[in-house]
């Protein structure tokens, strides 16, 4: 496209009758923004450049053209982030009578001792139990978290400086990205990943860099999450001078992989070598099966000082609606997360924090003993996992047996259906299949492609995720539906 510019000052007569002189660059700048971008907000930006009475020219365009004011236009940092699988599935599930193995919450109650602690807090004669508490964490809770994780991590933890209580683990993640990731920083994310990691990194101005766990060939036995591995050379190549953090989810959602000590040492060595932070999302830390060991990456050499470990009272005590989470890490990093926290939510529900504090106090006393909830819960969930895996395999699907967490993913390649074309050209097979399952079969699951980057989604569209943290009666209903799968 060729523009010919008249290199003498241009005259413009707006509606007020005053003659305004514009230099050629002012005129061209205004016209290009008006014609190409066509939004009022861009014209207003020009007004800051055009001096004095020349602003009449901009105002004339704004008030005489068909350009609409854009006061309701979103900030650029959230553009493209409005689509959310959890909103979609929740809406679909509410519209149909379904067996919900999609979303990650138990349909059974928390243990009685934690519920009783919550009730005591609510009914306490201490009126402060229903008022604000310390913004960075209720004192009884941060104290027991420091004791509990000090024991697990093998170090003294300062309850006031190295523990932050958040509105669920979700807020802890948000605080990390907002506090530590800047424009242009690269964040390495291991796929599959909890979908908010990518969006939170982008909102902070960061650039997600993805590396997928790849399934290795297996014959003669059931595939497990341990069979999905990182390529060490590929991981090493992801680190650059722009790398700010590595995001680790251990055990992993949706796969259920529990990273081995050797795998964690590989990640840790690269973090230390490149002076990179690690955000370790360990909300499923107590839900590990088959005698596997959950190794906390913050215990490895050189990692405490660069690791923020995120935990969840909701996942720990099967009370996801209470929204009590935490971040534990070095003072010099946690203080930045505290800045974000105090300027966003500031405070978490006092009674819920008190209940979680009492629950952790009880569990610390019986840690490792048969009566511990942290022993009985994974035993119960392992039984449910095995039951659902058997049902899925009997239906002709292929279970990927998880080592930890709430979820089991299934390979549906062998029973792939011919589904009608979608009105959305970007909708993948697993997404269409899950919607059909909900609307026609009454069984909710989650498409696994949503846990992958755009680059890798297509490779994993033949997997769907089920949640087995459900009552036996719920699993029985799901089994009946799965029995009809091949029919």
* Domain boundaries along the sequence of the chain: 10-64, 81-108+372-483, 112-365
Contacts of 326 (CB under 8 A, 6+ apart): 137, 141, 145, 163, 164, 165, 166, 169, 172, 310, 311, 312, 313
Q: What tokens appear for 413 in the block?
A: 């390649």
Measured N-to-C along each axis, helices 24-32 and 40-49 cross at an angle, to the nearest 10 degrees, of: 160
Measured N-to-C along each axis, helices 373-394 and 350-365 cross at an angle, to the nearest 10 degrees, of: 100
> Looking at residue 74, what DSSP letter applies?
P
**pTM (two decimals):** 0.85
Measured N-to-C along each axis, helices 196-203 and 168-180 cross at an angle, to the nearest 10 degrees, of: 40
329 C-beta neighbours (distance < 10 Å), count: 25
CATH fold, domain 112-365, is 3.40.640
Phi, psi of 196 (to 5 degrees): -70, -20
Strands 443-444 and 324-328: unpaired
Half-sphere exposure of 155 (CA within 13 A, CB side): 16
Decide if 81-108+372-483 and 112-365 have a common fold. no
pLDDT by residue for the chain (487 residues), tens only, comes to 444 444 444 444 444 444 445 555 555 455 544 444 444 444 444 444 444 445 555 555 555 555 555 788 888 888 888 878 878 888 888 898 899 999 899 999 999 999 999 999 999 999 999 999 999 999 999 999 999 999 999 999 999 999 999 999 999 999 999 999 999 999 999 999 999 999 999 999 999 999 999 999 888 899 999 999 999 999 999 999 999 999 999 999 999 999 999 999 999 999 999 999 999 999 999 999 999 999 999 999 999 999 999 999 999 999 999 999 999 999 999 999 999 999 999 999 999 999 999 999 999 999 999 999 999 999 999 999 999 999 999 999 999 999 999 999 999 998 877 776 766 777 899 999 999 999 999 999 999 999 999 999 999 999 999 999 999 999 999 999 999 876 6
What is the sign of the dihedral through the CA atoms of 131, 132, 137 and 140?
negative
Strands 10-12 and 20-22: antiparallel
- The closest of 331, 270, 327 to 300, measured between CA atoms, is 270
Out of 3.40.50.300, 3.90.1150.10, 2.40.37.20, 3.90.330.10, the CATH code matching 81-108+372-483 is 3.90.1150.10
- The closest of 293, 287, 274 to 317, measured between CA atoms, is 287
- Tokens 């690791």 belong to 307
Spatial separation of the C-alpha atoms in residues 210 and 159, rounded to whole Å: 34
Residues 370, 390 contacting (CB under 8 angstroms):
no
């Amino acid at each position: 496209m060729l523009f010919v510019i008249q290199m003498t000052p241009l005259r413009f007569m707006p509606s007020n009758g005053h003659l305004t002189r514009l230099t050629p660059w002012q005129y061209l700048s205004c016209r290009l923004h008006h014609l190409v971008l066509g939004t009022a907000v861009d014209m207003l930006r020009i007004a800051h450049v055009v001096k004095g009475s020349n602003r009449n020219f901009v105002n004339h365009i704004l008030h005489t053209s068909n350009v609409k004011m854009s006061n309701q236009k979103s900030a650029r940092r959230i553009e493209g982030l409005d689509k959310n699988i959890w909103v979609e599935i929740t809406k679909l599930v509410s519209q149909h009578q379904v067996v919900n193995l999609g979303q990650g919450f138990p349909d059974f109650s928390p243990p009685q001792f934690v519920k009783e602690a919550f009730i005591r807090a609510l009914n306490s004669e201490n009126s402060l139990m229903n008022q604000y508490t310390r913004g960075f964490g209720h004192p009884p809770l941060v104290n027991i978290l420091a004791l509990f994780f000090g024991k697990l991590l093998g170090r003294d933890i300062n309850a006031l400086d190295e523990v932050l209580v958040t509105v669920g683990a979700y807020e802890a993640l948000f605080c990390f990205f907002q506090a530590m990731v800047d424009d242009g920083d690269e964040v390495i994310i291991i796929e599959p990943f909890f979908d908010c990691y990518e969006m939170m990194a982008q909102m902070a101005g960061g650039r997600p860099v993805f590396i997928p766990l790849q399934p290795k060939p297996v014959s003669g036995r059931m595939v497990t999450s341990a069979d999905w591995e990182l390529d060490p050379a590929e991981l090493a190549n992801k680190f650059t001078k722009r790398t700010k953090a590595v995001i680790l989810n251990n055990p992993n959602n949706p796969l259920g992989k529990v990273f081995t000590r050797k795998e964690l040492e590989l990640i840790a060595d690269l973090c230390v070598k490149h002076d990179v932070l690690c955000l370790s999302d360990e909300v499923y830390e107590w839900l590990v099966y088959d005698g596997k060991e959950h190794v906390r990456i913050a215990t490895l050499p050189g990692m405490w000082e660069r690791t923020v470990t995120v935990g969840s009272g909701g996942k720990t005590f099967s009370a996801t609606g209470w929204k009590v989470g935490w971040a534990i890490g070095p003072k010099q990093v946690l203080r930045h997360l505290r800045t974000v926290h105090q300027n966003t939510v500031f405070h978490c529900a006092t009674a819920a924090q008190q209940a979680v504090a009492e629950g952790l106090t009880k569990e610390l006393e019986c840690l490792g003993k048969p009566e511990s909830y942290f022993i009985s819960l994974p035993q119960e969930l392992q039984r449910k996992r095995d039951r659902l895996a058997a049902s899925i395999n009997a239906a002709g699907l292929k279970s990927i047996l998880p080592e930890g967490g709430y979820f089991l993913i299934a390979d549906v390649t062998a029973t792939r259906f011919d589904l009608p074309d979608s009105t959305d050209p970007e909708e993948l097979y697993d997404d269409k299949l899950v919607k059909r399952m909900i609307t026609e079969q009454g069984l909710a699951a989650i498409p696994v492609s949503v846990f992958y980057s755009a680059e890798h989604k297509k490779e994993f569209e033949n997997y769907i995720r089920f949640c087995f943290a459900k009552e036996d009666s719920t699993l029985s209903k799901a089994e009946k539906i799965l029995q009809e799968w091949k029919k």
